[in-house]
Chain A
Amino acid sequence: MSLLRYESQVRPPIVDGSKDYHQVTEDICAPVEAKPTKAWWIGFIISVALLLFGVVSIVVEVIYGTGQWNLNKTIGWGWDITNFVWWVGIGHAGTLISAILLLFRQGWRTGVNRAAEAMTIFAVMCAGQFPIWHMGRVWDAFFVLPYPNTRGPLWVNFNSPLLWDVFAISTYFTVSLLFWYSGLLPDLATLRDRAKLKWRKMFYGLAAFGWTGSTKHWQRHEALSLVLAGLSTPLVLSVHTIVSFDFATSVIPGWHTTIFPPYFVAGAVFSGFAMVQTLLLITRKVLGLKDYITIEHIEVMNKVIVLTGSIVGIAYLTELFMAWYSHVGYEWFAFKENRVNLSSPYGWSYWIMMGCNVLSPQVFWSKKLRRNLLLTFFMSILVNIGMWFERFVIIVTSLYRDYLPSSWSTYYTPTIWEIGFYMGTFGLFFVCYFLFSKFFPVIAIAEIKHILKKNGDNWKEGYNKEEGQNYDEFAHDNVHHDDHH
């Protein structure tokens, strides 16, 4: 008999605990069907409190204007845009995992894609808050939409990357949401079919869009997934590319540099994976999903972190080198005096960025450290601190010393409302994540089943014979000569 699929036993299994199909369903549905735990309630209430802090901060800002923030003429962008770029960056991992890793046929993505995609959507929602409320007169926000209007010749500025952001992020959000939700449909139907309570049956029944699991449904589902993966792949790159254009199209020293687009994308993937690690390390423990989010998953993601961290590192050094090489005085001043110089007002932030983003991920060259959960958790937070500072360095250290020394800004510190707004987005993010992890399966049941017989620990033993065969025996048994060229 010939095999339809085969995987070398050299590869570690990515589903542990000797599962069969039924057990997979039971394990992943269990937290959804159980009552929320005490820990869940505590976490949820803290998140709601943070969210309320954010709402109050926004209300204050809307009533009294952006003067409630410590921005000034020289530092026109501060915490708000730093936070915006930071959240958008985090919102890159999910769709990268679901789309690009799907195209690269990375089986391990099935353990983490659902939660990562959800996280992406919530992160983009958080990111969107900042430019919206930064407008000040938020009731005029609809001005960013280009449509024939009664405001005379007042159209949006199509030349502005800020407008491209509106298009890029809203498109990205829409496609990511569709991708995530269409992937959920079979699992929602599973929950519907298992439901014992009437309201659950109704809720999941509505949510599952009448999924029956018929061959026709699966066929359409597969086709849709492939189309959405194809659409998402350029979108993942486009979003942070256009965010980088916000800076790079200008002539501000430290902003105008051609490497920005790919390096922003690498940085976004870097921070996104760090956030996935933070969330999944907690999720797998609290929801008891260690058999599905295994140490192998953690290790692979740490490899992505050391790769993207090093790419970002090369970009930082390239920028620094070119600032010197270009022989442009302003550029070199921005790097040497405003950033590298540790005794300059914001020099410390540059070195936090370098330390967290470039140096610290290098520990993951070691296999032992990649598999250390405590270190991974610590590193995942360190990376996101570093990535926050990257945006802070880019924005504030380039702005605060203007071309005219008379416009040089005094030291910029955020007000309580800027901090509150940022905390509020954490609230929004975690409220959403808590609700998601309570009401939806955090792992894609159907997709785990798809890889189970190839990657499950108990199933891998079934390949003992093939592993022992040599090339010719294996080819004789399994390859059919239907491809004569």
Chain B
Amino acid sequence: MANRENFVAPKRYNTIAIALIAIGILSTITLYITAGSKDDPHQQARFWGSLLQNSVYFLLVVNAAMFFICATTLAWGGWQMAFRRVPEAISACVPVVGVIAGAILLSICFSSNHEIYHWTDSAHVAHDPTLDHKKGFLNKGFFATVTVLTIVLWSLLGWKMRKLSRSLDENPIPTVEGRKKYMWNNTIWAALFMIVFALTVMSSIPWLWLMSIDAHWYSTMYSWYTFASTFVAGMALIALFVVFLKNNGYLEHTNTEHLHDIGKFMFAFSIFWTYLWFSQFMLIWYANIPEETVYFKPRAQGEFSGVFWLMFIINFIAPILILMSRDSKRNYAVISIMAVLILFGHWLDFFQMVFPSPMTDPKTGVTHVPNILYDLGIALGFVGVIMFATGRALSKAPLVAKNHPFMKESLIHHT
């Protein structure tokens, strides 16, 4: 097969992406008409909740690709160089999805509807001692500032890392000393990204964007849990694009060995997610303190129990049974199916993280599970956006970062 170094999106690829975006827009409009445009704030929350769940989930997933790049850079990994341009291209979606998510988050924060973020209702907060106590953290100004700053920083630092990578495409570094200096430069920017990542994804951002939906409830594990959920989904997304490119005759020197290692990440971090899931769930169940169990009541036992246990089966039982074996991690079909399953499973996880609180009727106290088809439709829209943006980013630069100092290591990689 001819050596194809530059990605040209097949016509069908862009058609599918645009069709998916159309489905997303259509679902959004339909959901807006059936729920979002109603006078009942509870109905409106159904609409905004879906936008929140989808935009935040997909933003964290595409940003996880840059986390993967920075983590492997700091660890001086070599094996991933063969397909390094794939996570780079995925991370190029961060500004796009970031703008969408930022707009949605700020709209919810500043709207007159307080069903999702109860703490935005100053009249309610005045009568709620707990929310009043949290005012120093849960307030609109702080939320907006942190949200904007975070999305800007992720985008900028990601852009810088991609720029560093592309700077070598036309200018190979001739000396070993020069290569060492290049690695050093990469290390510094990756470390900066990591610090920002630690202060946002690993701590403040999930508290603000997601945990504050259940504004009274708290769990120290929450942010690390959210990180695990989106990182494993991010690895699955990388796997999907690698398989797609291989199937279309690209990435000549990425082979089963690399796929095997990506599969190991999918497997290991599925188990890691389960570990954090279990730690959070078991400790709250064991201590049985009402202020804490209130979170799991509608999820594990109430209306959402179907979604809750289904996502547990998809995110834990399926990976441990299917991805444990060596053969399955080296099989393109199995990896593709599992990647789709993992992406869907953690999307379901976000579904049950977001909806139980806004779907509880404040008057009757009854919780109901919304019709998930709308949310799936909107999710497909985001998938389309990511396909389109990643495809564009892939076609802008050569698919192989040929001149990276560790590139050659990746070519004779054995697992």
Contacts and interface: CB of A to CB of B under 8 A. Distances in A.
A483 B280 CA distance: 43
B130 interface: yes
B295 to A, nearest CB: 11
Nearest to A480: B412
Given A327-B133, A475-B253, 16 more contacts: A8-B179, A248-B283, A249-B287, A251-B287, A256-B283, A258-B222, A258-B280, A260-B279, A261-B279, A262-B224, A322-B218, A325-B137, A325-B207, A466-B408, A472-B402, A478-B412
Interface in B368-415: 400, 402-403, 405-409, 411-412
Given A8-B408, A466-B408, A256 B219 contact: no
Contacts of B411: 474-475, 478-479
Interface string A1-32: 01111111111000000000000000000000
Interface residues of B, number: 54
Q: What band does the interface of chain A fall in when counting residues whose beta carbon is under 8 Å from B?
A: 35 or more
A10 B289 contact: no
Interface of B: 75-76, 78-79, 129-130, 133-134, 137, 172, 176, 179-180, 183, 191, 198, 202-203, 207, 218-224, 246-247, 253, 255-256, 264, 271, 275-276, 279-280, 283-284, 286-287, 289, 291, 332, 400, 402-403, 405-409, 411-412
A7 B405 CA distance: 10
Contacts of B276: 261-262
Contacts of B400: 471
A365 B207 CA distance: 28
Contacts of B407: 471
- Most chain A CB atoms below 10 A, which of B137, B264, B286: B286
Contacts of B409: 6-8
A406 interface: no
A249 B279 CA distance: 10
A5 B79 CA distance: 12
A471 B403 CA distance: 7
A315 B172 CA distance: 42
A387 B107 CA distance: 45
A467 interface: yes
A214 interface: no
Contacts of A466: 408
Given A11-B76, A237-B275, A470-B172, A258 B284 contact: yes
B283 A8 contact: no
Nearest to A244: B279
Contact of A9 (B176, B271, B286): B176
A250 interface: yes
Contacts of A4: 412
Contacts of A328: 291
A2 B414 CA distance: 14
A338 interface: no
Pick the 9 closest A-B CB pairs, nearest first: A259-B220, A258-B221, A471-B402, A261-B279, A483-B255, A249-B286, A326-B218, A258-B280, A327-B130
B78 A8 contact: yes
Contact of B402 (A103, A105, A250, A470): A470
Nearest to B132: A327
Contacts of A7: 409
Interface string A240-284: 010001001111000011111110000000000000000000000
B253 A256 contact: no
